Amino acid sequence: MRFRQIIAALCCLLAAAAAPAFAEEYPRAIRGAIDQGMKLEKRFPAASGLTGWVLADKGEYIIVFTTPDRKTLVSGALYDEAGRNLMADYRNAHVPRPELEGLFKELETAPYVPEGPLAGPGNLLYVIYDPNCPYCHLAWKMLQPYETAGLQVRWVPVAFLAPSSMPKAIETLAAPDQTRALRRIMQKFGQSYTPPAQYDAKAKPEIAEKIGKNLELMRKFGLNGTPGIIWKDRNGKILVKGGLPRLSELPAMTGLPEQKVDDPELAKYR
């Protein structure tokens, strides 16, 4: 992932300085990121004396933190002593929100695989998924009963988690029956997979390019991982959820009555 590379570069910048620095407006790692072309969107006070920094690069945003002595860079999840996800709070408070109407129009024309009937306009979800994402697989299992009840899920493939993600995504989009191909790959999740040569990115560059654009679109929505779920509520408001939902959230998300989900693997997500 691009941001993993950015984090690695920031850490190197922080550790690399040879001579002692004079007092600077920004810590060394943040200054280095700015010098390399990233834009500093915002600085904010964070928990335990940390300082949060919102950095932007080509429409993508990342939050990192520096310690009070300005010498250590912190990235990744932050939780308080009550177990609350502080990073989610900081993203909501400090990361610029995307313009969702325009992005939703892009999403409607993105390559996706439809699964399930469409009972009505309020019974539609877009799910951005990586074929190797375990939580995407669980989301697929969660949504099967709702699809039977009238939900259509439009599965939007991306590929970044593993070398086989791109071949699996290409195999799905290149299939004569895309829905059947999606179901086959989901049903075989976790089993060994040898990518056929005809589904290599070099063999299908036009499809690989579309999958790459799906990943760019995912980032524009402010999603840094999969699954990413996007839908319109009954009032037409566009909603975005990153990560696996709870089963209790599905009726409101799908616009359908609660469906029986008795898969033991999903019991802890009620």
- 135 and 188 co-located in one domain: yes
pLDDT at residue 170 in the model: 98
- 194 and 238 co-located in one domain: yes
Closest by Cα among 130, 128, 137 to 110: 128
- 114 and 246 co-located in one domain: yes
Distance CA 135, CA 141 (A): 10
Q: What would the pLDDT profile of 50-98 be if each residue is shown by its tens digit? A: 999 999 887 678 899 999 999 999 988 888 888 888 887 898 889 887 7
**Of 94, 110, 132, which marks where a domain is finished?**
94
The pair of structure tokens assigned to 3 is 């941001």
pLDDT at residue 36 in the model: 87
pLDDT at residue 15 in the model: 44
CATH of the domain at 19: 3.10.450.70
- 90 and 116 co-located in one domain: no
- Its pTM stands at 0.72
The pair of structure tokens assigned to 173 is 């989009």
pLDDT at residue 5 in the model: 54
- 116 and 89 co-located in one domain: no
Q: What would the pLDDT profile of 193-213 be if each residue is shown by its tens digit? A: 998 999 999 999 999 999 999
pLDDT at residue 9 in the model: 54
- 118 and 9 co-located in one domain: no
DSSP 3-state of 233:
coil
- 193 and 230 co-located in one domain: yes
pLDDT at residue 14 in the model: 46
- 139 and 67 co-located in one domain: no
**Of 94, 118, 145, which marks where a domain is finished?**
94
pLDDT at residue 7 in the model: 55
- DSSP H or E segment with residue 55: strand 51-57
**One-letter identity of residue 148:** T
The number of beta carbons lying within 10 Å of the beta carbon of residue 218 is: 24
Q: Distance between the two ends of the chain, CA-based, in angstroms?
A: 31
Longest C-alpha distance within the chain, in Å?
A: 66
Residues in the chain, overall count: 270
Q: Are 63 and 91 in contact (CB under 8 A)?
A: yes
Low-confidence ranges of the chain (pLDDT < 70): 1-24, 59
**Of 72, 94, 116, which marks where a domain is finished?**
94
* Total structural domains within the chain: 2
Closest by Cα among 1, 247, 36 to 144: 247
Distance CA 49, CA 68 (A): 6
pLDDT at residue 23 in the model: 43
Angle formed by the axes of helices 178-187 and 165-174, nearest 10°: 150
In terms of residue numbers, what domain contains 41?
2-94
**Alpha-carbon separation of residue 264 from 142, 156, 248, 269 (angstroms):** 11, 26, 15, 10
